[in-house]
Chain A
């Protein structure tokens, strides 16, 4: 007699466990970048794209100096913003997660966040990723920011950077703590929620736009 019994038992156990442990978690995502724990008094405009009431929320923990974050931003997040955030289907939240081994990533995050006061966070983030090779070699982050913004906006960003450097640094610290609490181990890490349900807990590394698009279409179609 074929020993099917163990396989049947194993299948039943797998099915029961798969049902008992759904992919999603009930913990709702933070809807704004400033919703991280112990938010300091100085508030930045949210580093988000899209409508907060969008059916899907994507949170990205990234580091401006990390090459994979660059690839994710330029090849995946940019088309995502144009196609899904602009149409109100996805709400994208940026979280800073500068890794300690990267010399200038915290400085880049400080400048990018300071530039958020001008409403040009995405412009600056795009420039920082596009020109990553140059400022990572020299540390001249401010040059990239001034090249990306108009003189008036750069002056505003610089003023925010100088006046609120420690506050912005505290906001970055709060983002880092939020990521650490979620057990983020690498950058970039992406977290996807549908309503209040986390449907992809932690996706570490690069994900191509084609694959992400298919996933989002599947989720939006449900």
Chain B
């Protein structure tokens, strides 16, 4: 009974995370990539040559990961990729904050400054992604043990 509830909770968490990723990707895909390039540029982490390809590819990667999460296909590796990506976004926001950069987060399109709200939201998403990924790996191990 307890396992069933945790499984169900993790399934909902995975779907919720997938929807958030798909939504964020949709907002970026539907606007000009120049706008997203500007958001990436504002973080002052990457060299100019890396910004354009990233601005063009990242929204599609987010979309693919979001859809994979919702579908439940390859959850362990998708979850791992999402966790690493979210941890990367979170680190980028942290460094921008500590460098005193007053910039847009760029998470869901323009117009949202980095601040307490973005840290809480993205921190919660990182936590959710870690739970989904760990859950998927642990569940796989449990199933393997049962088969053996």
Contact = CB atoms under 8 A, between A and B. Distances in A.
Interface of A: 2-4, 6-8, 10-11, 14, 17-18, 21-23, 185, 192, 199-208, 210-212, 214-215
B70 A10 contact: yes
B42 A7 contact: no
6 contacts: A4-B71, A6-B70, A8-B71, A192-B34, A199-B32, A208-B41
B34 A17 contact: no
A49 to B, nearest CB: 19
A197 to B, nearest CB: 11
A203 B110 CA distance: 8
Contacts of A203: 32, 34-35, 38, 110
Contacts of A202: 35, 110
A7 B71 contact: yes
Interface string B29-40: 111111101110
A212 B104 CA distance: 19
B13 interface: no
Contacts of A201: 31-32, 35
A7 B67 contact: yes
A211 B34 contact: yes
**Which one of A2, A185, A201, A204 has the greatest number of beta carbons of chain B within 10 Å?**
A204
B22 A10 contact: yes
Interface stretch (B1-9, B46-54, B86-94): B46-54
A208 B50 CA distance: 12
B128 to A, nearest CB: 18
B103 interface: yes
Given A201-B32, A202-B35, A206-B38, 12 more contacts: A4-B71, A6-B71, A17-B30, A192-B32, A200-B31, A204-B38, A204-B110, A205-B41, A205-B103, A208-B48, A211-B55, A215-B52
B73 interface: yes
B115 interface: no
A210 B15 CA distance: 38
A10 B48 contact: no
A129 B26 CA distance: 37
B68 interface: yes
A10 B32 contact: no
Given A204-B104, A205-B104, A210-B49, A17 B26 contact: yes
A7 B66 CA distance: 9
